Amino acid sequence: MTRKAVSCLLADDHPALTAAVSAYLSASGFEIVGPAPDGRRAVELATSERPQLALVDYRMPYLAGVELVLALCRASPTTRIAVYTADGDELLAESVLEAGASAVILKEAPLADLLRALEAVLSGRTYVDPTLLRDGSPRTQLTQRELDVLGLLAEGLPHAEIGVRLGISSETVRTHLRKASNRLGAATRTQAVATALRRGLIV
C-alpha cells in the first residue's frame, strides 16, 4: 500500500546511527527532515518545516531531554514527538511523556521496532518500549498528570473544573485524557476511568 511520505525530523548527534536510521526510515516511506546534530537546530527545523513526526535523541548538545521536548511542542504543536534513548530508565520515560512526547524508544531495539513505534504514534497512540514498563505494570504507561486527571474524573468533576484544580487548560485536560485512554485501550472517558479504577491506578 502506497502512502504519501511522512515528514520526520531526525535529531541525533551520533553520525553513524543517524545515517542508519535515516536510510531505514527513508526506505520505509518517511521523508527525513534534517538531520539535526543538536537540540537548538532541531527546534529551528521544527519551527520552519513543521514535520509530522520528530525522532529526537534524549541526550544532545545545547538542548536536550525534557527541555527539548517542551521546546519542540512550543515550536510545532502539531508535530508528534518520539524520544530515542540509550537510557533504560522508566522515570525518564515518564518525564518526557509528561512533557508532551508520544513515544519513548530504546536505541538497542531493532529498527523494525522503531518503525512500529512511529507508526503507532502516527495513528494517535502512545508507545513505550516494553522494557521500560516496570514489572509489566500498567502504571508506568500513564504519567502522573494523566493519573491526576483520571482521579478527578472519577470524582465526577468536569474538564473545566479539573483544569482549575490542576492549573492547566481544559484543552490540556482533554489531551491528557486522550493519551490515558489510548494507553488503557479505552474508547470513552468512562471506560478509561473504570479501567484505571479496576487496575488500582486511582482510588
Q: What does the alpha-carbon distance between residue 9 and residue 65 come to, in Å, rounded to a whole number? A: 16
| 62: Cα separation from own chain's centroid | 21
Segment holding 82, helix H or strand E: strand 80-85
Most confident region among 53-57, 58-62, 100-104, 176-180 by mean pLDDT: 53-57
What's residue 50's pLDDT? 96
Assign domain 6-135 one CATH number from 3.40.190.10, 3.40.50.1220, 1.20.1530.20, 3.40.50.2300: 3.40.50.2300
Q: What does the alpha-carbon distance between residue 101 and residue 94 come to, in Å, rounded to a whole number? A: 10
Domains 6-135 and 142-198 share a fold: no
Portion of the chain with pLDDT greater than 90, in percent = 45
- The β-bridge relationship of strands 6-11 and 53-57 is parallel
Domain map (residue ranges) of the chain: 6-135, 142-198
What's residue 36's pLDDT? 95
Residue the block writes with cell 486522550: 178
CATH no. for 142-198: 1.10.10.10
φ, ψ dihedrals at 128, nearest 5°: -125, 125
Above 60 in pLDDT, residue 62? yes
Segment holding 83, helix H or strand E: strand 80-85
Q: What does the alpha-carbon distance between residue 165 and residue 113 come to, in Å, rounded to a whole number? A: 38
